[in-house]
Structures are given as C-alpha cells and as structure tokens.
Chains A and B, each alone.
Chain A
Amino acid sequence: MSMPQLAIEPWGNYSLALAASVECLHVRPWTHTCTTPEILKLGVEASPEFSCLSFKVTTGHFIKAAMEGVEYGVMVNSQGPCRLRYYRMLQQKLLKERGFNLFIFGLGYDGIKPPLIRHFNPTMNDFLRCCFRARLKVVTIDELETAAWTKRAVELRAGDTTRAMNACIKDLDQARTVPEIKAFRKTIPARFNQISVDVNRRPLKVALLGEATILRNSFLNQNLEEILGGLGVEVRNFFLLGEEMRNIFNIGTGSKYGWKAMRKLAKPYLGTPVGGHALASVAHTLRCAQDGYDGVIHVAPAGCMPEISVRPILRKISQDKDIPVFECSFDEHTSQVGLVTRLEAFVDVLYDRKTKKEL
C-alpha cells in the first residue's frame, strides 16, 4: 500500500520543517514554500469574495493538493475572536462541494493527543523523532532568516543574499537526519560570510509585524523583505516560528518575546484579547520604540479583523513614542509597483529623520 499524503498549508520556508516532521509519521508531505499564481487563482475562485487573503490562499493550496490526489491536509486553528478558527470547517465544506476527498485535520487540543497524531498513530519513538527534527529545522530556518535580513541590507551586489538563501534552503531540504541538519547548521555562518558587503553602510532597522500568513509568504507580501533589503534596510520579521512555538507550547514564555512579557507591555494600550497576532503587533511596536528601531511596517490582509482593530492603537503608539508606523494591506493584486513606491517613500522619510536626529 502506498503511503498516504498530507497537504501542509504554506508557511514560507518553515513549510520544509513541517514537511520533515510529518515524514516521521510515515506520511508523504505535500507542500509549497510559497504560493504560486495558479494556486492563488484556484483559491480566489473557490472562496467567498469578502474572506481574507489568508483564507483564499490556504483554500487554494488544499484544492491544488486535492487535484493532485492528496488525501489529507492540516490547517492551523487559532484561539480568540479571529475567524481563522472556523476556516478549517469552511474549507472542508468548499472541498466537498467541489467533489474532492481531502480531509483537513486541525492542530487544536482535544484530549491528550491531537486528532492528527491519533489518526496516524505513530510509535512513541517515531513521534519524538518527528518533534526533534521539526524543532531543529525550525530553529535552523530562524537562523537562516536572521542572517539574510542582516546581510541583505549591506550586500554589494544586489541579489547575492537571496541567491545564498535559496541555495541554503535547498540544502536544508536535502538534510534528512538530525546529524545532517546539525552539520548543515554549522556551515551557515561561513556561507553568509562569503557575501561581499559594504562595511561603511549603516542600514536602517525596520520591524515587520502583523498577520503571520502574509509575513511568511513572500508571494503574498510581494517580496517585502527583499524590497526593503534592496533599499538598505535591515528588517526583523517578527514572525519567527521558533519563538512562536515556545509561546504555543508555553515553554520559556518568560523570555523577552514571550506572551507574558507582551501582555504586560501592551496592557496600557490593549486590555482585551482581539485574536490573531493583534496583541503581538501592539507589544512589538512598543518594544521596537524602546529598542531604537527606525520604523515599523504593519502588514495585514485587507479586511483582517484583529489587525485592523489594532491599527488605531498603533497610530496612537506612533504619536506617543515617536516611531513611524507604516500600514500596508495586501489583497489579490499582483502588481508590485504601488507597494514599492510607498516603501521607497517611507524609507526616505526614515533616512531623513535619522539624519536630522544625528545633527
């Protein structure tokens, strides 16, 4: 009997880590690191007009997977008021209406074992191996991303960092076992150090925060990180899955980016939970103001309820703490021009501010 296949929703480069983990469950993973125009089209056609981009895209991925004969899928849930928690059920319905037999698991808790694990019922040994491997790959990808953000802002030849990053991601995908991944991890600093950099350039530091699907999917955010890197901006994308996992599993939540610290920090501005990553958006903006970031870019799909709820709060923080906040909403459009113009102008504003402050 052939191995069953499991479709994983796109989480940027982290899709590779998730794919590696499900292999231990004796399941073949089906995933893409970013959305393709074809998948977006499938999703948009199937989805209600007013649903958010995250919904349309994940739906598109499941439809594409079902067309290729995949039997299972896995989709995140969320807690709190974000509509994301119902997406799985709605997507299941949409798939059924179209005559596809793809069952979508959630990642929620019901009882001790999540339904996904209960269904495939791996041995304890396999399950632990799966967890270790996934964790290691996630942490490695965190490290790669961080290295790329720093290098891209100072690279001498445009595109060098992106090329190095793409090569690294390919190699990481090839690394199967824990020792292989560890060996690969050791080579990262050397590989990024090969990129020739301009030592005199002093890049701006800008935070990217907001809704996770958009932050992580370079097709949806129109290559935001690369555009900014090309403008000489060192970004920090505040969705790092390694940190996020610690929060999900309540491990080390005492850290700087843990829930507890964030809730405390955001308290004067946001007392009630509004779902999604809204609390994180508020807390991180405050943190960035403290840590001397030059600016913040708040990213959300058009119509995203949690993120839109906090936008007026971010404007208030921007005034109170004197940190520029740029709001950007993403929809199905594929033209980069409007975004690039606004980003260039925003970066110009930040440079002028910085020069003026230093005088």
Chain B
Amino acid sequence: MSKCYDDSEYKRRRRRNDEEERPRRKRDREEEHDDADVVQDGVQKSFIDQESDELVWIKDSCNVEVQSTDTQAAVSLQVGLQLAIALVVSITIGDSDEGQSVAQELFQQFDTEQTNKQKIFVENSKDVTITTTDTDLSVNIQALLQVLVALVVKLDVL
C-alpha cells in the first residue's frame, strides 16, 4: 500500500517538477540554438565526406606489380588547397561575414559525399601489372587547384 502511495506521490512530484522545468528548458533550448547559429558558420566551411576502400588480393601468382593511389597524400593535398583558398580569401576580402561566405560557397561547389570502393583479385597469374586510380580524389584536387588559380589570377597575383 505504502508503495502505491509513494508511486503516486513520486509521479505528482515529477509532474510538478516537469511543469516548473519546461519553461526553463525551452529557454535553454533557445539559447543553445542561438549559440549553434554562431558556431555553424565556421564549421560548415569545408565539409567533404570521402571514403576510399581498396583491396588487392594476390594468390598463387608471381611477378605481380601493383601501383595504387596514395589516398593519404591526396587528402593532405586537398586540405592544403582548401587552406590556400581560405587564406587568399581571408587576406583579400577579410575575415568578415562576406569573406567567410565567399570561401564557404567556393568549397560548397565540391560539397559531395564520395565513396570509392575497389576490389581486385589476382589468382594463378604471372607477370601482371595493376594500376588503380582514385578518380574522385583526383578530380576534386584538380578542381580545387583550378579554383585557387582562378582566384589568384583575379587578384593579379599570377
């Protein structure tokens, strides 16, 4: 019996607490959203989601040559290009809202989700040469370089 009483008392208290808390939580949420708006500007600047998977399986073979793309190097190069673009924009246009907006819009043109999966099996073979290319990464890097060059040409740097 006492348990029942405790339960209903507990529920009543919780309801009361909820009612008191609700306006406060709403206020908190609104404040959080205000913060989120500010934070998002910087974070969204460069969002490129890429996934590269590569598997080369060699079995019972001899003299097999594998040439594969160094994804790590490509990603570093991509980051370097993005940094260079952001730097040029930041110095010339300033780190103002319009400057951030320009950099964001330039990157957003390549704002894509890319997945690249390659699986190669070599079995019972001799004298094989395999060359794999991560086309997505190559395209992205070349396009970013073109944007950077176009930007600096406009600013009389080149």
B and A form one assembly: no
Contact surface of A with B, Cβ cutoff 8 Å: none
Contact surface of B with A, Cβ cutoff 8 Å: none
